[in-house]
Structures are given as C-alpha cells and as structure tokens.
Structure 1
C-alpha cells in the first residue's frame, strides 16, 4: 500500500534562496513547454522528449530534472484529457470546458517539483537531505517531522519525492510502500457509518461526531469569503487565499480524527466497516440553494478515503453499500416510508412504531447491508485513493 509522508525542511536563508530559484526555473521551463505542447498538439511523454529535451537542457536544467519537467507537463495534459472525458469539466459546449481546454496549462512559480534518487538523497539518521539545485548540489538541509512519519520514511520510502513551498515553508513529500496487513477474513459484523451535515459521521454503535460547531465556523468562513470576493482588491485576494488554506487544513484535520476513531472502534471490536457509496451524490441530490452550498463544500470523499486507507493499514475490511432509502427504512421491521422521517433528527416508523435518532437508524441499516454484501460475496471495490499530504 502506498502512503505519502510529508516532512518539513529547515533550510538556511541561503539554502532557501537556492531552492526558490530552482522551483522557479523548473516551473518556468514547464510553462514554456506547456505552451509549445499546446501549440503543436504534442502531449505524450515520448513526443515532448523528442520535441524539447535539448531546449530544456539549454535552460539550465540537468538531465534528470529536465525529464521530470517533461513528465510533469505530459501528466498534466493526460489528467486534463481524463477529466474532460469523464465529464468533470462539464459539457463540451459549456464555458467551464472551454476555459479549461482553450489555453495551455500553467504552473505556479512555487508548484511542486519531483526529484528522484539521482537528484535527492536522504540521510535519515542525520535528519538531512542533499538536493540538486540550479546553483549546484545543496547538502545538509535539515528536515523534521512526526516520529511515526520518520519511521515510515526510514523503513518504506520508495521512488520520487516532491519539493514544495507553501506559505513560505518548505516541505518534501515522499512516497512510502508499506506492506499490506492481512485483512480480517471473518469479521464479527460491521460498523455502519452514516455521513451527514448536522452529524458528520454516526456509527451503528451509537457514537456521533457532531458537526454543529464546525458548521458555524464554515458559515462564518463563507461570509468572510464572499465579503473578500466582493471587495476584489489585491490585499483581499491574498487574505482570501490564506483563509482558504486554513479552511482546507481544518477540514482535513477533522476528517483524520473522525476516521481514526471509526477504524479504532472497528479494530477493537473485531468488525468491518460499512460505508455508503456516495458517488454522484451531488448530481442526484435535490436540495435548496443554501443546502447545496453546505453539501458541496464538505469533503465526504476525503473522509471516506481516510477511513479506507486507515482500515487497510489496520487489516479492517471495508465494504460499500447502496445508500438508497437508508434514511427512510426502519432498522427493525425494514418498512420504507418517506413519512418515517418527521424531522431531521427523528425517525418514527409508521408500521411498527420504532423510534430512534434518524442518523443512528440509518447507520444500523448501513451495517446490516454491509453484512449482507459481505456474506453474499458481492464485496464492492473501494474507490481509488488520492495522494494524502
């Protein structure tokens, strides 16, 4: 299983200046190559190497960094084509599709740049790295990180590492190949997890991770973001950018904590985890505009991905079930009726009279469906995981 470990670099001012110049040179070369690729309609790795490898070398890049720039540009266009093919950019006649496909892809001056072991070497014991820059090889750049991350780095690091500058801080993002843990093939039931807005996650064992405080913060964030967007000055745009970063980090931190609790509960009770397959929920859900804003702004997919990869590390099986009518079905008599939900928080079965918190009732239904999916041998495949920083 692949995991991503991020460590923080602690360069001296001179080292930081050399790293910044390197990133700027690499991304300037990537922007030039992207424009050439767009103009000549050549986006494959082999085509770009034949087209521009020599020119990239004359721009001050060594052999390996030049190849990494070529691959970065080719991969960016491949990702753009994939998004267009599956409809993530809207219809071909839409303005969004036109904006994305009618001009070359551009890279920020501080965008991440990959380095392989020829350009970057790790001295784990000394907590330093040596890295290629446009001004020569820099040695003894100190790094730091959490003890668990450093252990993963020392034992399982493989492949390339990405150099990244964010808000004036320098980071290295390394890929680790962690051996798979043997999955529990005979779980004692499943923990059903119902995802929502008021309660971010409710488990069938009765634990609710409330989102009330978080939703108030998110409402304040939306108001501030709208105010800054209406103002439109350069300082307002800078502040909005910083604030957006804090919003994303807060949501990621909460998702990590919730997923850790759910996986620990399943592992402790020798059970699996059942999740709803929420693919396409944004297109299916019919909500009022304020509700759409709330639904679309929360990272449900990220929470599901965190649960999936943490469960895989712990050997906990994960299944995905059909979410249809989980909130309207009685977990006792399985009667389905829209009127079973008289309010957001209350479930009252019109058939047997069973009353329970609506999210808890839904989590019981998800747990039951997860067990039947497992027993019938129709285990669904977990969605592909995005790299985690």
Structure 2
C-alpha cells in the first residue's frame, strides 16, 4: 500500500534570492486569479481548463510550462473543494506558495540541497533540516513539492515522498473506542452509550448556575454568599454524576476485555462536536473524557 508523506524543510535563502521567490509567488498567484476570473466557474476538469487557458496564461505571466500547468490545476482543485464543501465565496489566491513536480524540482540527498525553477532561472537552496527529515528523505524518491512562505517570512519546501507500507492486518485483539457528546462512547464492536441523560443533567445544572450567578451579582451580602455556596455544591454534584457514569462504562469495558482475553489495549479518539446552540456552547467543555480511560489498559491514541 502506498502512502504519501510530506516533509517540511526550511530553506537557506539570501535576501537577493528572496526577492526572486517573492516575484515567482506573486506571478503564480496572479496566474491562478486570472484563470479563475476568465473561465467558466463550473469548469473543474484539468485537461479542459488547460486546453482553454494554457497559451494565454503562459504568454501573459511568463511562467514555465510546468508552473503554468500547476497554476491551472490549483484553480481546478480549489473549485472542486468549494463545490464539495458548498462554499459560495469567490476564490482568492495569496502569493504564499508555488507547486512543483519532478521537472521543476529536484532533491540531492548527498549535499542536502534542492533545485527549484523560479521565475527567471533555476536556483539551488541548502536545506536547514535535522536528522528526522534526513532519515525519511534519504533513499526515498521525491516526486513533488510545494514552496511556501510562512508568516515570519521564512521559506520552506514541503516535499512529498512515496512510501510502501504494509497492509493493515485484521485482528480481534484490540477494542477501538470513539468518545463524543451524542454518544459518550462507541466501540469498534458496535456497542455505544448514549449521552442524552448526561446532556440533560448538564443543561439542568447550567441553567441553575446561571440563575444563581445572576442572584449573586445583585443580591445582599448574605444572599451572595449563599449563592456561591450553592454553586460550589452543584459543581460537585455534576462532577460526581459524570464520574459515576464514566466509571460504569470503563468497568464494563475492562471486564469484557478480560472475558474475551484480548490484549489490554484501547484505541480511542476524542470527538469534539461543534455546539449547535447557545446552551451547547455554554457547556461545551463539560464532558470529562479523561475519566473514560480505564485503569490497567494501555492507551494508544
């Protein structure tokens, strides 16, 4: 099975070369903007777009052949993303990156330099990287890359490397758990625990706290003190209730793991759903997911 890994490498750039990079990024962004404005908004096919816009863009912006093609492909890719995600805003292209392929980019793992085709000429850059990047890049074949400029005005090359990884093996020795708000926990075996009761309790306590807080801010000195005491007590009750429910779930999971003699490992993922109401936003951080990690089990996030 093939897997693409992106390795971000910092470039050593002199002030003179930085101007050349800026000019290349500016021209690439202008080319993308021109293609988007002067073509049918529904056109997303790379081949059709290239046949329509390649000659004009190449002549107008003086980009290399491959860079022109990548500008056209970026427009098509961004349009597809907008259609898929139902985004109606007009596309904008910031001068912060340029796409490269094997014809306009090369990597030398002996000297640790990269060669990039800029606006006027091909330029070599020294890579400022550590052993982690060197270990992954050495012996691998880089097929494409993206030159980027970060907010601190430093330049990086994101190199895409193909790796062959073994196919995952199916096993019944691991239980996977997904943690969320709608369902407190859902296992890879199809079991789930609804969070409806906890959500109802949480909303109830949130409303009471809101009333007490309002009274505490406007009442007498004694009433304010009493309201704060009630708030503290309510906080403890809600926390204990949540902890009790989590304890019941984790106890069940541990006993089941021991019954079917699986490896003591849980693969878990915490899902933070977006709140759908003002009340949801008010108590969004309430679930104590940490209590759902059973003691005695190895956690593999």
Partner of 2:39: 37
Residue-pair matches, total: 213
TM-score (norm 1): 0.48
Larger radius of gyration between Structure 1 and Structure 2: 2
The 5 A counterparts of 1:1-389 are 1-38=3-40, 41-58=42-59, 59-84=61-86, 100-101=87-88, 103=90, 105-110=91-96, 112-139=97-124, 141-167=125-151, 168-181=153-166, 183=168, 188-190=173-175, 272-276=265-269, 278=271, 281-282=273-274, 287-292=279-284, 359-360=290-291, 362-364=292-294
In the TM superposition, what is the alpha-carbon distance from 1:79 to its structure 2 partner?
0.7
In the TM superposition, what is the alpha-carbon distance from 1:82 to its structure 2 partner?
0.8
Unaligned runs of 5+ in 2: 182-261
Alpha-carbon distance between aligned partners in 2 of 1:290 and 1:18, rounded to the nearest angstrom:
50
The answer (yes or no) to whether the contact 2:180–2:270 under 8 Å persists in 1 is no
CA pair 53-183 structure 1, distance change in 2 beyond 3 A: closer
Alpha-carbon distance between aligned partners in 2 of 1:270 and 1:157, rounded to the nearest angstrom:
37
For residues 266-296 of structure 1, the C-alpha deviation after alignment (integer angstroms, 9 at most, x for no partner) is xxx97654225848x326788443444x69x
TM-score (norm 2): 0.61
For residues 301-323 of structure 1, the C-alpha deviation after alignment (integer angstroms, 9 at most, x for no partner) is xxxxxxxxxxxxxxxxxxxxxxx
Partner of 2:186: none
For residues 310-355 of structure 1, the C-alpha deviation after alignment (integer angstroms, 9 at most, x for no partner) is xxxxxxxxxxxxxxxxxxxxxxxxxxxxxxxxxx66xxxxxxxxxx
The answer (yes or no) to whether the contact 1:120–1:131 under 8 Å persists in 2 is yes
The answer (yes or no) to whether the contact 1:187–1:272 under 8 Å persists in 2 is no
Partner of 1:263: none
Alpha-carbon distance between aligned partners in 2 of 1:44 and 1:22, rounded to the nearest angstrom:
25
> What SS is found at the alignment partner of 1:125?
coil
Alpha-carbon distance between aligned partners in 1 of 2:264 and 2:36, rounded to the nearest angstrom:
49
CA RMSD of aligned residues (A): 3.3
Alpha-carbon distance between aligned partners in 2 of 1:191 and 1:81, rounded to the nearest angstrom:
33
CA pair 285-183 structure 1, distance change in 2 beyond 3 A: farther
Alpha-carbon distance between aligned partners in 1 of 2:101 and 2:38, rounded to the nearest angstrom:
25
Alpha-carbon distance between aligned partners in 1 of 2:283 and 2:15, rounded to the nearest angstrom:
47
The answer (yes or no) to whether the contact 1:194–1:359 under 8 Å persists in 2 is no
Unaligned runs of 5+ in 1: 85-99, 197-268, 296-343, 346-357, 371-389
> What SS is found at the alignment partner of 2:38?
helix
